[in-house]
């Protein structure tokens, strides 16, 4: 990085790429760095080439990037998350490979695959990516796709705002991605605690990359929360009162509330840190009245609700699949609703357990420790409810059920290690050790990752019209379960042996065997990732055999299964009149569920618009320019956003009208298709006989 | 609550009235922001400054909720609006009160001046 700032390109110059480091010194660390940058560049070039070659730029722009359809926005969120997941898992693997070779000696402490500073960047980007750009877009994407369909709504309450949220999230992800090639990422972990991340100890662009990625994408998540909440309150189908909503909608409501109230805390703490770094403020500095402990306080005011934001949608998914794949009604609906809402509220009262060791008195620690243990109760209630749902059902061992089983076995262990950590006196022993790393991966992977992958498997046919290959789906799930056990169980042991987290090196040879086991697990995780990709690919090639035009491949009970697969852009030809909880199931029980509606009306849909794309571009330019001190571009990006809003505000925008005749034609064709299909029994669910029309005689749940 | 909402402004409510509400809210917000800045620049004692700024902030929140977000305690939505306000206040009280509790305790343990120590100093 150059010492002076140019008015045109800010602090950018030719020495910021990892290739310079490679030319400077060739070792495994610089090779890994340059290799990662090359993967990014080659990936972008290859992606562009494929789009050009196949002439897909136009369709991509018209059908996806400018679409305000919540279903498509949801799919784009998930696609973004899966790309970022690939990077996150590979980084996890590199870190495990590093630590397996990082046994140093007292005289020569530094060893291993990558340099200490590079290792610090790895865990910082890995953590940031996994939380903000994998877990969040996965769940927000899934909610976007599923929620309106389950509520009987055509779209989100604010379709264009939804597009903007996606754009902001993608802009943040883009900033993290580009830090591979241009400059370096921060080294302060995913929490970026000052004073280490203050300007005095971390000059340079690294922390700023994190700050702007978080500020921009955090804004998107706050807006998403509002969108979800308004949708649930205002756009439910007639008759869909609260206690008739499927459980996934309830957990979405909890997520919405928590996004609205928790995300601003993150925005505030990041903005304060940005002011410290850019404008000479002293919120978190050591001198001039700053207090860095308040950063930890505000950050975790967001951070703890965040972990429940991550887990609750997975709880929603598990509620849906445990009921569908056992052919039974969900056990204890009301208790699940109460438990979800309790979790949402209690999760705002426990944040101090992330800094028990910061020095406050025992009384404060105990208060928050007890609050933390209380939150285990509603979670326990849920686990029992799902087990009771499966109890004596005819459970089909589909891929989602494999994930559910893995979740049962592993999540309970992770939850219990959480209750252990909630005891301040124990936390004093194991905090900041790999015991903690094992704990949070133990809840996040079986909870969030399995839950979201199960959900993707479950709703995939609704989105694309064909099922995912069950055999490969199960293999993927088993690999993720096995991979988890081998990667993270050893970390509990290592933590108890005294290994600190975020260690670039260690001197105790007793750690090594466990390191090897963990590395083997990381290989399995890579295998799971490959298997996941292969599942999509092989299912795509077999899409004709796996097609389910009937739209109800799992004999489901909620509204989204009443429509064709793939679901048309207007979702429902006519907004359903909801008469019961699990309305589609009740309709099946009552007789002919595929009866055509009495009449059809014109449907009003939001018009396509590049608005979200433009705002995302402006936000990305703003973030990138601020990171590199390119002030003119920053001003431009900053002013472009209100200008775009004003411009759209002043334009007359006509919605797109889909004429009743077109809807009627499509709907009649769908009903004729269903009538022509042979009903498939549940035993045939995985075979080609499953065309999406289930055997109603078997419907009990 | 179950009736579907088209998200449209009530046609009975004339655009002029809408506009007036917004303009009022805007004027009030600008004024209250000005008051806060004036207080910061003035040479009042610090306690007064902080008090005035907090009061102006609270009033501005009320102005935003009333004039921009159409919150009202009378009319069709009053029950929901009341619940929403109570819920928000509860969560904010947890966050603000919790912060006070934690930071005051930490300050006390560091013998910071001007803070209220949670425990008597030794
Ligand atoms: C799939 C395989 C994964 C592997 C092999 C892996 C591996 C690792 C490793 C080695 C670390 C550093 C531990 C240390 O500090 O000593 C780490 C940290 C972390 N991981 Fe993972 N991880 C995986 C998946 C995930 C997932 C799915 C998430 C969340 C959705 C996640 C979130 C985090 C976070 C938040 C950190 C902390 C970063 C920090 O210290 O600031 N990881 N992981
Ligand atoms: Cu927590």
Q: Which pLDDT tens digit goes with each residue over A166-185? A: 999 999 999 999 888 888 88
Interface check B121 vs A, CB under 8 A: no
Inform me whether the pLDDT recorded for B30 exceeds 80. Answer: yes
Higher pLDDT, residue B78 or A353: A353
pLDDT at B121 over 50: no
Ligand nearest to the CA of A133: 1
**Is B2 inside a domain boundary?**
no
pLDDT for position A481 = 95
Which residue from A90, A92, A354, A494 has its CB within 8 A of the most atoms of ligand 1, so it is best to mutate?
Answer: A92
Q: Does pLDDT of A15 surpass 80?
A: no
Residues B15 and B61 grouped into a single domain: yes
Residues B66 and B15 reside in one and the same domain: yes
**CB-CB under 8 Å, A240 with B2:** yes
Tokens 């042991």 correspond to what residue? A493
pLDDT greater than 50 at residue A568: yes
Model confidence over A597-631: pLDDT tens digits?
888 888 888 888 899 999 999 999 999 999 998 89
Least confident piece of the model among A145-154, A629-638, A658-667, B68-77 = B68-77
Same-domain check for residues B36 and B62? yes
DSSP letters, B44-66, are S-HHHHHHHHHHHHHHHHHHIII
- The Cα–Cα gap between A110 and A112 comes to 7
Q: H-helix or E-strand containing A605?
A: strand A603-605
Q: Which of A151, A161, A348, A352 to mutate to test the interface with B (most CBs of B within 10 A)?
A: A348
Helix (H) or strand (E) holding A656: strand A656-658
Q: Residue B12 pLDDT > 80, yes or no?
A: no
Inside any domain, residue B116: no
Domain membership of residue B121 (yes or no) is: no
Q: Are residues B28 and B63 in the same domain?
A: yes
- Residue B5 has its nearest CB partner, among A234, A298, A345, at A234
Same domain assignment for residues B65 and B14: yes
Cβ contact, residue pair A297, B99, below 8 Å:
yes
From ligand 1's centre to the CA of A651, what distance in Å? 46
C-alpha A347 to ligand 2 mean position (Å): 8
Contact between A333 and A581 under an 8 Å Cβ cutoff? The reply is yes
Percent of chain A with pLDDT over 90: 56
- DSSP collapsed to 3 states, B7-39: CCCCCCCCHHHHHHHHHHHHHHHHHHHHHHHHH
Banded model confidence at residue A701, pLDDT cuts 50, 70, 90: low
Over 60: is that where the pLDDT of B122 sits? no
pLDDT the model gives residue A686: 87
Q: How far is B35 from chain A (nearest CA, A)?
A: 23
Q: Structural domains in chain A? A: 56-547 (1.20.210.10), 552-600+673-701 (no CATH)
For chain B, what is the domain count?
A: 2
Instruction: Answer whether A233 sits within 8 Å of B1, measured CB to CB.
Output: yes
Within a domain: B98: yes
Q: What's the pLDDT band for B6 if we cut at 50, 70, 90? A: very low
- Does one domain contain both B106 and B81? yes
Provide ipTM, 2 decimals: 0.83
Measure in Å the smallest separation between the Cα of A464 and chain B Cα atoms: 29
- Is residue B44 located within the same domain as residue B28? yes
DSSP characters over A458-521 = HHHHHHHSBPPPHHHHHHHHHHHHHHHHHHHHHHHHHHHTTPBTT-S-B--GGGHHHHHHHHHH
In chain B, which residue's Cα lies nearest the Cα of A240?
B2
Residue A311: CB atoms within 10 A of its CB come to 24
| Interval A473-497 mean pLDDT | 94
Q: What is the mean pLDDT of residues A457-469?
A: 93
Compute, in angstroms, the gap from residue A372 CA to the centroid of ligand 2: 8
- Do B65 and B15 share a structural domain? yes
Q: For residue A168, what is the enclosing H or E element? A: helix A159-178
Q: Is B118 domain-assigned? A: no
Please name the residues between 68 and 97 in chain B that touch chain A, using a CB distance below 8 Å: 80, 88, 91, 94-95
Residue B120, in any domain of the structure: no
Shared domain for B64 and B20, answered yes or no, is: yes
Shared domain for B20 and B55, answered yes or no, is yes
Measured N-to-C along each axis, helices A470-496 and A399-421 cross at an angle, to the nearest 10 degrees, of 20
- Are residue B60 and residue B41 in the same domain, yes or no? yes
Which ligand 1 atom lies nearest to the CA of residue A85?
27
Would you say residue B49 lies in a domain? Answer: yes
- Which backbone phi and psi does A129 adopt, to 5 degrees? -65, -50
Q: Which residues of B touch A239 (CB under 8 A)?
A: 2
Which domain, by its residues, includes B107?
Answer: 76-111
B15 and B33 inside one domain: yes
Determine the distance in angstroms separating the CA of B43 from the nearest CA of chain A, rounded to an integer: 21
Any residues with Cβ below 6 Å from ligand 1, and which? Answer: A 89, 92-93, 95-96, 123-124, 126-127, 130-131, 134-135, 189-190, 434, 437, 441, 444-445, 448-449, 487, 501-502, 522, 525
Q: Give a yes or no: residue B54 inside a domain.
A: yes
């Amino acid at each position: 990085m150059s010492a002076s700032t140019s008015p045109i390109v800010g602090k950018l110059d030719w020495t910021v790429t990892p290739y310079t480091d490679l030319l400077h010194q060739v070792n495994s660390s610089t090779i890994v760095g340059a290799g990662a940058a090359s993967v990014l560049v080659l990936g972008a070039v290859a992606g562009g080439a494929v789009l050009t070659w196949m002439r897909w730029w136009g369709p991509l722009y018209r059908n996806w990037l400018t679409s305000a359809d919540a279903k498509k926005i949801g799919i784009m969120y998930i696609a973004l998350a899966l790309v970022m997941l690939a990077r996150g898992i590979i980084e996890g693997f590199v870190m495990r490979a590093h630590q397996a070779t990082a046994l140093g000696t007292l005289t020569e402490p530094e060893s291993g695959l990558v340099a200490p500073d590079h290792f610090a960047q790895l865990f910082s980007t890995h953590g940031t990516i996994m939380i903000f750009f994998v877990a969040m877009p996965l769940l927000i994407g899934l909610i976007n796709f599923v929620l309106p369909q389950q509520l009987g709504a055509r779209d989100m309450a604010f379709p264009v705002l939804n597009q903007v949220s996606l754009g902001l999230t993608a802009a943040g992800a883009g900033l993290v991605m580009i830090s591979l090639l241009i400059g370096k990422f921060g080294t302060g972990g995913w929490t970026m605690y000052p004073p280490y991340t203050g300007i005095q100890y971390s000059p340079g662009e690294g922390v700023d990359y994190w700050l702007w990625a978080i500020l921009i994408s955090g804004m998107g998540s706050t807006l998403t929360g509002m969108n979800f909440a308004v949708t649930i309150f205002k756009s439910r189908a007639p008759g869909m009162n609260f206690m008739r909503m499927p459980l996934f909608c309830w957990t979405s409501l909890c997520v919405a509330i928590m996004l609205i109230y928790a995300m601003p805390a993150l925005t505030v703490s990041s903005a304060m840190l940005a002011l410290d770094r850019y404008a000479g403020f002293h919120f978190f500095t050591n001198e001039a009245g700053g207090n860095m402990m308040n950063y930890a306080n505000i950050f975790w005011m967001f951070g703890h609700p965040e972990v429940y934001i991550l887990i609750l949608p997975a709880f929603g998914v598990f509620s849906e699949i445990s009921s569908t794949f056992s052919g039974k009604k969900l056990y204890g609906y009301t208790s699940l609703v109460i438990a979800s809402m309790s979790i949402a509220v209690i999760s705002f009262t426990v944040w101090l357990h992330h800094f028990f060791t910061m020095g406050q008195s025992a009384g404060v620690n105990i208060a928050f420790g007890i609050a933390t243990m209380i939150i285990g109760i509603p979670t326990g209630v849920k686990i029992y409810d799902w087990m009771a749902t499966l109890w004596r059902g005819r459970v089909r061992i589909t891929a989602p059920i494999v994930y559910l089983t893995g979740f049962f076995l592993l999540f309970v262990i992770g939850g219990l290690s959480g209750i252990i950590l909630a005891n301040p006196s124990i936390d004093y022993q194991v905090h900041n050790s790999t015991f903690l790393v094992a704990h949070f991966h133990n809840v996040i992977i079986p909870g969030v990752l399995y839950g979201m992958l199960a959900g993707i498997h479950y709703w995939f046919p609704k989105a694309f019209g064909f099922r995912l290959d069950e055999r490969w789906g199960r293999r993927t799930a088993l690999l993720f379960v096995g991979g988890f056990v081998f990667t993270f169980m050893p970390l509990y042991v290592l933590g108890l042996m005294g290994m600190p987290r975020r260690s670039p090196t260690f001197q105790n040879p007793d750690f090594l065997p466990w390191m090897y086991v963990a590395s083997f697990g990381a290989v399995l995780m890579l295998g799971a990732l490959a298997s996941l990709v292969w599942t999509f690919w092989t299912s795509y090639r077999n899409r004709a055999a796996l097609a389910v035009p009937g739209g109800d491949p799992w004999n489901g009970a909620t509204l989204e299964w009443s429509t064709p697969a793939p679901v048309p852009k207007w979702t429902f030809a006519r907004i359903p009149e909801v008469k019961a909880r699990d309305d589609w199931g009740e309709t099946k029980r009552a007789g002919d569920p595929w009866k055509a509606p009495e009449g059809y009306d014109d449907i009003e849909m939001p018009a396509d618009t590049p608005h979200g794309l433009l705002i995302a571009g402006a936000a990305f330019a703003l973030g990138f320019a601020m990171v590199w001190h390119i002030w003119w571009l920053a001003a431009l990006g900053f002013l472009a956003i209100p200008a775009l809003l004003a411009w759209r505000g002043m334009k007359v925008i006509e919605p797109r009208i889909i004429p009743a005749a077109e809807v009627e034609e499509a709907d009649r064709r769908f009903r004729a298709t269903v009538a022509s299909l042979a009903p498939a029994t549940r035993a045939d669910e995985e075979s080609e006989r499953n065309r999406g029309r289930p055997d109603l005689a078997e419907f009990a749940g | 609550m179950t009736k579907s909402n088209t998200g449209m402004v009530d046609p009975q409510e004339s655009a002029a009235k809408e506009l007036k509400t917004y303009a009022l809210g805007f004027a009030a917000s600008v004024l209250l922001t000005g008051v806060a800045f004036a207080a910061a620049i003035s040479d009042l004692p610090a306690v007064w400054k902080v008090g005035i700024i907090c009061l102006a902030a609270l009033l501005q929140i009320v102005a935003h909720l009333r004039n921009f977000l159409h919150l009202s305690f009378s009319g069709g939505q009053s029950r929901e609006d009341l619940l929403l306000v109570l819920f928000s206040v509860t969560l904010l009280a947890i966050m603000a009160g919790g912060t006070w509790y934690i930071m005051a305790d930490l300050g006390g343990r560091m013998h910071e001046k001007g803070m209220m120590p949670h425990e008597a100093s030794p």
